[in-house]
Amino acid sequence: MSTLIPQVLVDKMHGLKFTESPRWREGKWWFLDIHDQRIKTVGQDGSLETALELPFKPNALGFRRDGQLIFSDALQRKVYRWDGQQLHLLADLSAFTVFCLSDGIVDAHDRMYVGDIGYNFWDPSQSPVDTCVITCVTRDGRARVVAEGLHFPNGMAVTPDGQTLIVAETMGRRLTAFDILEDGSLIRRRVFAQLPEDVHPDGIALDAEGAVWVASPESQPTVLRVREGGEIVDRIVMDTHAYAVMLGGAERRHLLISASDSHHPADIAATPSATLRVVEVPVPGAGRP
């Protein structure tokens, strides 16, 4: 097993609150700054820009083939699209979900898959639900549940052939795979990788060898590269917690890591500690996002 050491791309002095859902597009990473209620970009030189300011806390981020942004209002459980000038409501998922939307992706058919966290980060007194769902939102805004009985479905990836969806089940401590049917339905649920007891997978990224980079914020600060079956083949040592990852750069061999000392809203409001880290890896990224 190799051990990699990341470099700080953007430090704590740049005003980031809590970053999630990094995506590589048009020569830069796009990401959500959830508590700052913005979609931002960062270049490989560390240059930050705000692409869009929002009236809500977003989660889940993707791009349609025409470049339109798709993302959710996490707490109201609604999905929106941004056409470059206006914000449009695409789907209301409040009838399918309970507390808060999680991460999600947009596939090559402009469908968004988005998970349900199952508990309320902002009000821990509310009892969490035992199981959660994945909802599929089509290009024209039709929404339906395509998987249920999951334990905090979080980061997602789709294989290059578009036929397999992999999702991190944070509270299940595993990566779970589904076959994707032509209409977007998910079938043949199976365990892609059962992870160690101290690993709670969050954001994930797929590489060209079919291995998955996994951010694990709840354990010893680390990012793991995991093969199907559960073998851990690479490890990135962190001095803070990693919440999301994305392979980018000209050859997609630079892994961006969204990091923070805490994910608790009170901590973030009082002392934000978000940073972006980057490390060059041997195997390039593949698939979506």
pLDDT in tens, 267-289: 999 999 999 999 999 999 999 99
For residue 1, pLDDT beyond 80: no
Interatomic CA distance for residues 209 and 247, integer angstroms: 13
Structural domain contains residue 285: no
Mean pLDDT on 61-85: 97
Is pLDDT above 80 for 57? Answer: yes
Q: Is residue 287 part of a domain?
A: no
Is residue 223 a contact partner of residue 214, using CB atoms and an 8 Å limit? yes
The mean pLDDT of 257-272, rounded to a whole number, is: 92
Give pLDDT, residue 16: 98
Q: Which two tokens stand for residue 22?
A: 């990094």
Does residue 52 fall inside a structural domain?
A: yes
Give the domain CATH number at 191: 2.120.10.30
Please check whether residue 267 lies inside any domain of the structure.
Answer: yes
Range of the domain at 29: 2-280
Give which of 175, 273, 163 is closest to 216, Cα–Cα: 175
Percentage of the chain exceeding pLDDT 90: 86
Question: How much is the pLDDT for 218?
Answer: 76
Give the model confidence (pLDDT) of 80-133 as tens digits. 999 999 999 999 999 999 889 999 999 999 999 999 987 666 666 766 666 799
pLDDT in tens, 175-211: 999 999 999 999 999 999 999 999 999 999 999 999 9
For residue range 206-248, list pLDDT tens digits in order. 999 999 999 998 767 789 999 999 999 999 989 999 999 999 9
Cβ neighbours of residue 239 closer than 8 Å, sequence gap 6 or more: 221
Task: Please name the amino acid found at residue 274.
Answer: A
- Predicted confidence at residue 164, as pLDDT, reads 98
**Domain presence at residue 288:** no
pLDDT at 29: 98
Give the strands of the sheet with 38-42, arranged side by side. 19-25, 28-33, 38-42, 48-53
Residue 289 lies in a domain: no
| pLDDT value of residue 237 | 87
pLDDT attached to residue 188: 98
Asked if residues 158 and 210 have their Cβ atoms less than 8 Å apart, the reply is no
Domains of the chain: total: 1
Asked whether residue 90 is domain-assigned, the answer is yes
**Given the DSSP bridges, would you call strands 2-4 and 232-237 parallel, antiparallel or unpaired?**
parallel
Per-residue pLDDT band for 31 (boundaries 50, 70, 90) equals very high
Q: What mean pLDDT, rounded, does the chain reach?
A: 94
Q: Does 286 reside within a domain?
A: no
